[in-house]
Structure 1
């Protein structure tokens, strides 16, 4: 389990909930969580606000 998935589960969010809060599809969020795609800096900052993490975690 990666850090992003671990944090999402710690917050008790589903992938669908994170996607809805940031205006992306669940499939796109899943690709980000599984390191298949990298978000734009602006989306990473949105995700970081929702997930209470530093935005750079999405580029590690």
Structure 2
């Protein structure tokens, strides 16, 4: 899955939560989360694990094409 598709998925998962709320919960800066959501960066594996845990979704469903 490409960075843009991952970003769209992250925005969809965030829903009505703020970027600040999610960033604080997963331990990244708001600017880092914003870059992930815009498809400018793909999170490192340890961040992928935290995102997956936060949203209670398998890593494969968020970061890899189905």
The answer to whether the superposition gives a TM-score over 0.5 is yes
Matched residue, 2:21: 17
Higher RCO, Cα 8 Å, sep 6+: 2
What stretches of structure 1 of length at least 5 have no aligned partner? none
Where in structure 1 do 4 or more consecutive aligned residues deviate above 4 Å? none
For structure 2, the residue ranges without an aligned partner over 5 or more in a row are 1-6
Q: How does 1:10-49 map to 2 (within 5 A)?
A: 12-49=16-53
When the two chains are superposed, the root-mean-square deviation of aligned CA atoms in Å is 1.9
Higher gyration radius (CA):
2
How many aligned positions are there?
A: 58
Q: TM-score, normalised by structure 2?
A: 0.72
- Give the TM-score taking structure 1 as reference length: 0.78
